[in-house]
């Protein structure tokens, strides 16, 4: 008998025991191993919001929201202070500069109790910022709020005005926003966040696009850093008539990654810059020690079915995971295209096109245990925007959608919930 043949029965037993224990031995293809959900209408305390937002077409969750702030949608994710705790960035509010002046820019801590084959409630709970301990509601203990208390940003903000949008016909700016110089969705469209080795946060904004640096409490530490040669219509110089936009509205930093060494940020635009190769998005390298762009630029090639990216996160110093998507949903004629790609910069010259390999098709993830309870054995994520991906370990990813509250139409003609999914990969991300 060949000596290895004695090991085959043992391997089969180990695999069976792992399966019975809910420890997915690495599957042959990506596999859903955890699911949780947060209801669309999840709120925190704060200034009245949604005063400039239009109602959704479903007739539900109609703004404004008196003395409340929507906790969602989530457009960036970081690890939290404990097991299965995460910190999520809310984006600019209600979808645009013109309707989000009363939406605060915040990071919230959540505790996720994934439903898995071993159990779990599938609930997402508020958690305290420092300890990650579950709590009853989203309040000041669960979050930080971005602010320019020291007048460092160098951009006009709502807190500078007596009335929203500096228009006396609009409601007065909330006293708390003015007093604490809180930042809103009309000031910045933050879509990505990273934490450096000193505990400072870096936010990627779409309006400039700008990089914004804050301390651990969310206070801006220095002027916003523009991307050389790139200006969206909302860029301060364009608004002042001193420059011309060369990228679409809110086409800035949808993706922002920090390398494993903690020395570089990599910014990824959501829309193409005029003059760049067709259907490519610019990746720019930023040195954290000098707080300046290095001048190195790469180009990310969109799939023929893709129209934009949703997030970018680092695996190591040269490899990243990117969410790519179109605008299709389960309620639109356009079929949804939602995928994760592994991107490698190694050996790519300045100005070159990066290599990408499909990692996960988010519209076709095996779900043998029907963890989302939809009666099917395949999980799909048909939301317009999926903007959060985090590497949990060498074989596991967290993926979360941005629900664009109070809008939606991802799964059905209704405001979307937020889904948190854990996906096991067939191959290790380790080299």
pLDDT, residue 308, reads 94
Domain of residue 373: give its range. 31-424
The dihedrals phi and psi of 33, each to the nearest 5 degrees, come to -115, -5
pTM: 0.93
Q: What is the pLDDT of residues 128-157, one digit of tens each?
A: 999 999 999 999 999 999 999 999 999 999
Q: How far is CA 57 from CA 332, 364, 406, 413, in A?
A: 14, 28, 10, 8
What's the CA gap between 323 and 381, in Å, rounded?
12
- Residue 11 in any domain: the answer is no
pLDDT, residue 23, reads 42
- Residue 147 in any domain: the answer is yes
- Residue 265 in any domain: the answer is yes
- Residue 339 in any domain: the answer is yes
Q: What is the mean pLDDT of residues 40-65?
A: 96
What residues contact residue 139 under an 8 Å CB cut-off, 6+ apart?
44, 45, 126
The dihedrals phi and psi of 9, each to the nearest 5 degrees, come to -60, -40
Sign of CA dihedral 159, 164, 166, 170: negative
Task: Write down the mean pLDDT value for the chain.
Answer: 93
Cβ(126)–Cβ(134) below 8 Å: yes
Q: pLDDT confidence of 28, banded at 50, 70, 90?
A: confident
- Residue 16 in any domain: the answer is no
Cβ count within 10 A of residue 328: 20
pLDDT, residue 25, reads 54
Percent of the chain clearing pLDDT 90 (strictly above): 92
Q: pLDDT confidence of 9, banded at 50, 70, 90?
A: very low
In sequence order, the β-bridge partners of residue 109 are: 87
Cβ(230)–Cβ(237) below 8 Å: no
- Residue 108 in any domain: the answer is yes
Q: pLDDT confidence of 26, banded at 50, 70, 90?
A: low
CATH number for 330 = 2.120.10
- Residue 120 in any domain: the answer is yes
Minimum mean pLDDT range among 24-38, 97-111, 392-406: 24-38
> Is 20 a residue whose pLDDT tops 70?
no
- Nearest alpha carbon to residue 41 among 26, 58, 62: 62
Beta strand spans in 143-222 (E): 143-145, 190-195, 201-205, 210-214
> Is 272 a residue whose pLDDT tops 50?
yes
Structural domains counted in the chain: 1
What residues contact residue 80 under an 8 Å CB cut-off, 6+ apart?
86, 87, 109, 110, 111, 127, 132
Tokens of 262: 């903690």
Cβ(400)–Cβ(381) below 8 Å: no
Q: pLDDT confidence of 98, banded at 50, 70, 90?
A: very high
Secondary structure (3-state) at 109: strand
The dihedrals phi and psi of 15, each to the nearest 5 degrees, come to -60, -45
Long-range contacts of 59-65 (CB under 8 A, 24+ apart): 60/406, 60/414, 60/415, 61/405, 61/406, 61/415, 62/406, 63/94, 63/406, 64/102
């Amino acid at each position: 008998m060949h000596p290895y043949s004695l090991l085959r029965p043992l391997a089969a037993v180990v695999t069976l025991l792992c399966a019975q224990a809910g420890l997915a031995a690495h599957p042959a293809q990506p596999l859903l191993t955890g699911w949780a959900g947060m209801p669309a209408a999840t709120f925190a305390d704060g200034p009245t919001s949604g005063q400039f937002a239009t109602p959704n077409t479903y007739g539900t969750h109609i703004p404004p929201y008196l003395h409340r702030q929507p906790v969602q949608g989530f457009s960036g994710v970081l690890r939290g202070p404990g097991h299965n705790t995460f910190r999520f960035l809310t984006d600019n509010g209600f979808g645009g500069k013109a309707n989000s002046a009363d939406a605060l820019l915040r990071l919230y801590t959540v505790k996720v109790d994934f439903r898995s084959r071993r159990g779990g409630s599938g609930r997402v709970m508020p958690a305290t910022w420092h300890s990650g301990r579950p709590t009853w509601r989203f309040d000041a203990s669960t979050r930080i709020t971005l602010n320019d208390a020291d007048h460092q940003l160098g951009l006009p903000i709502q807190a500078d005005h007596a009335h929203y949008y500096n228009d006396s016909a609009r409601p007065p700016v909330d006293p708390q926003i003015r007093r604490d110089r809180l930042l809103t969705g009309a000031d910045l469209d933050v879509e990505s966040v990273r934490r450096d080795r000193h505990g400072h946060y870096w936010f990627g904004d779409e309006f400039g696009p700008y990089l914004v640096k804050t301390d651990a409490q969310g206070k801006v530490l220095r002027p916003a850093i523009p991307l050389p040669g790139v200006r969206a219509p909302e860029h301060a110089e364009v608004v002042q008539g001193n420059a011309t936009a060369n990228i679409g509205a809110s086409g800035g930093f949808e993706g922002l990654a920090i390398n494993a060494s903690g020395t570089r940020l990599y910014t990824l635009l959501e829309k193409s810059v005029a003059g760049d190769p067709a259907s490519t998005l610019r990746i720019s390298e930023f040195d954290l020690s000098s707080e300046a762009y290095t001048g190195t630029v790469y180009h990310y090639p969109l799939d023929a079915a893709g129209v934009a990216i949703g997030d970018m996160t680092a695996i190591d110093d040269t490899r990243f995971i990117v969410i790519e998507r179109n605008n299709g949903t389960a309620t639109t004629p356009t079929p949804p295209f939602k995928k994760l790609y592994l991107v490698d910069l190694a050996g790519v010259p300045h100005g070159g096109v990066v290599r990408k390999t499909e990692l996960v098709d988010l519209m076709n993830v095996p779900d043998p245990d029907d963890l989302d309870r939809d009666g099917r054995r395949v999980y799909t994520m048909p939301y317009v925007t999926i903007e959060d991906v985090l590497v949990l370990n060498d074989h596991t990813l967290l993926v979360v959608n941005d629900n664009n509250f109070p809008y939606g139409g991802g799964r059905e003609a209704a405001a979307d919930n937020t889904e948190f999914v854990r996906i096991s990969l067939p191959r290790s991300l380790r080299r």
